[in-house]
Amino acid sequence: ETGVTQTPRHLVMGMTNKKSLKCEQHLGHNAMYWYKQSAKKPLELMFVYSLEERVENNSVPSRFSPECPNSSHLFLHLHTLQPEDSALYLCASSRVFGGTDTQYFGPGTRLTVL
């Protein structure tokens, strides 16, 4: 269960703050994902990186900015967020992107925007 780690686990920020979420995978995978989980809604895929290149961007507002410096690390930079952005943000990784490779998830970052 420590294959994918996320920091911080909890984050409270004002609408004018800038913060970053960090994800690290120790599984040797080549694909990494950011998901948003809001109350009473299915998980929403935000971004996908494969071999450090962004391959999917599901109409996410520009106030969310991903970064993948290498295949083991993934960041989500946040700025001028809205209260409706409060949610659990989950990172996942898989061996490759596409097909039926299993995605393994981190513990998530609970984000509250005031």
Site residues (CB under 8 A) for another protein, limited to 57-86: none
Site residues for another protein, 8-27, by CB under 8 A, read none
Q: Which of 13, 60, 67, 107 binds another protein (CB under 8 A)?
A: 107
Segment interacting with another protein (CB under 8 A) among 11-19, 35-43, 60-68, 77-85: 35-43
In angstroms, rounded to a whole number, what is the distance separating the alpha carbons of residues 104 and 90?
Answer: 10
Task: Give the Cα separation of 92 and 108 in Å (integer).
Answer: 9
In the beta sheet, which residues pair with residue 54? 49
φ, ψ at 63 (rounded to 5°): -70, -10
Q: Which of residues 22, 52, 56, 60 is near another protein by CB under 8 A? A: 56
Residue among 35, 13, 6 at smallest CA distance from 83: 13
Residue position matching structure tokens 């984050």: 11
Binding site for another protein (CB under 8 A): 1, 4, 6, 40-43, 45, 48, 56, 88, 90, 92, 97-100, 102-108, 110
